[in-house]
Structure formats: C-alpha cells, structure tokens
Amino acid sequence: MSRVTTPFGARSTAADVIAGVDLTGRNAVVTGGSSGIGLETARTLAAAGARVTLAVRDTGAGERAAAGIRAATGRDGVDVARLDLADRATVDAFVAGRTEPLHILVNNAGVMALPERTTTPEGWETQFATNHLGHAALTLGLHDALTAAQDARIVVVSSSAHQFSPVVLDDIHFTSRPYEAWSAYGQSKTATVLFAVALAKKWAADGITANALHPGGIMTNLQRHLDDAQLRYVGATDEQGRRLEVPPGWKTPEQGAATSVLLAASPLVQGVTGRYFEDANEAVVVTGENDGLGGVASHALDPETADRLWAETGRLLGTA
C-alpha cells in the first residue's frame, strides 16, 4: 500500500483541509468537543454543514461551546450530550437509541500523564480506561448507526507518545509493575491506534473506515496534570515560568485540528483505512529508538497485536 500524501502540512488549518467540502446532511459526534482541538474540529465540521453533537463530561461547558459555534458559523445544528468516558453508564446512555446514521465519529477526548495511579470502579487504570476503553465502548455501541451511514469514518486522536510504550497485555492496569505516568499514557495511545487497525479490518464490510492520528503539540486542557518542571521540559513555558499560548514548534488549535478534520471529511482520504496520520499526511513507520517522536511506531500497527487487543477489549467490556 502506498503512503497517502496530501497538499497540506504542519501549518495547514482545519478550514484549509476541507475548503469547498459540503457536509450538509451528515451527522458527526466529537468527544471532548467543548475545548481545544475538539472544539475546533466541531466548529469546522459544523461550518461545512454537518450536524454535530458535542459529547462532553461538562454539559455546561458544552452548551457554551455549542452557542459559540452557532454564533461563529451561523449553523443551528450543534447539539450537546453528556459523556464521561471513564463512566460506562454514561457511555451506554449516550449510545442508547441512537439509530440515525452517523457519518463521522471523532474520538478526540483524553487524559494525559496522571501523576499517580488511579483506577475506575472496574479496577481499570484511568488513562487506559478513558483514552481507550471508553472510546472503544462508545464506538462499539454506535456500530449500527455507523453502518447505517454506509460510508462512515471513525477518527481516532492518538499521540506521538504512543512511542513511549506498547500495550503490555499481561499487565495493562499496572497491578504488577510500577506505575509511570508517561508509560501509562503512551500505552493508552498505542491502544487507540491498534483499535483503529482492528476496526479497519473487522468493519470494512460495513463501509466503515477508521484511522488514527497525532495532532501535534497544542496548548489545551490536556496539559492540566503537568507540573512546572514537566511544562519547562516540553517547552511550554518561558524563562519566567509563564505558559506560552503557542510554544515554539507547537500548533494553534486551528492547526492541531487539521488532521482530524482531514480524516473526518476530506475526499483526499476517501476509502483510506487502518492508517496513522500526522501533519495532514500519512506518517512514516519507524522502528527502534526515535527521540524526535515523528512517525508511527511499528508496534502500534501490528495486526496480530491489534487482534489480541480487540479480544481483550471485548473481554473487559463484556462485548466479546
């Protein structure tokens, strides 16, 4: 399979990548759509004519975001629904009764680098539960709605941090090994890519495509768990310790949402599935150490590991 390339790049915006695309009549769900790149993704899809549901933990923030999108785009088709990815009951409530065709699902919400190991009521490590299992439950629950669309696209927001760790299937939840915040985050983001790989194979006959992406570095609420030393390390603060709105080499939210929107709506990737993108192009596969963190690690695309994760996900969620 040849690598997918586009005319766009790291500085392209979400509006750039779907200029001229009409999404009238198409339904979209964006998790974490009330802030950051989720908000920009939702705003761009709504501006192009899609009816967009913001799936959010805080519905008050979601309603404010929806009002802002309506005002900015002149489009009324923006809804808000509660979704807490770490709370299975809210996932089940969200998917219940959603039978209308769903053309675009953007699994965008996430949590990063929790300093201490915490677990959900099921005993699942929180980053893995939120970033992977919650989105997996959501996606599986929306299967019929996605199938009804006939050409649905699933967009999985992963991270270059997937290179920090493969999925350790023998101890996903850090019950036997020492917990480390970035290893846990990296593992959860590897899982999201592998799940997209599995979806691409298992749901192809339903006309559904699934692709994962790294959005780039963007200052959002995702950094809320980083301490001052970590913020300095990643270049997010200046010499006085003040947070930078757009640190050197990072992206604006409009640029950070570009790859999500490309995969959600651009005709340039019609039919493309099971791939990993960055900077609005398919990423190069890398093996071994990669200090620059560009590209996609081979462990995140391995089809055998994807099948094993699919089975374990089904076991944990009770859907196997």
Task: State the catalytic residues.
Answer: 185
**Cβ neighbours for 203, distance < 8 A, ≥ 6 positions apart:** 143, 146, 147, 210
Give the span between the Cα atoms of 90 and 121, in whole angstroms: 14
**Cβ neighbours for 235, distance < 8 A, ≥ 6 positions apart:** 244, 247, 248, 249, 250
Count of alpha carbons within 13 Å of 148, Cβ hemisphere only?
11
Give the span between the Cα atoms of 18 and 254, in whole angstroms: 13
Length of the chain as a residue count: 320
The tokens describing 86, both together, are: 């770490």
How distant, in Å, are the alpha carbons of 108, 270, 278, 280 from that of 247?
22, 33, 18, 20
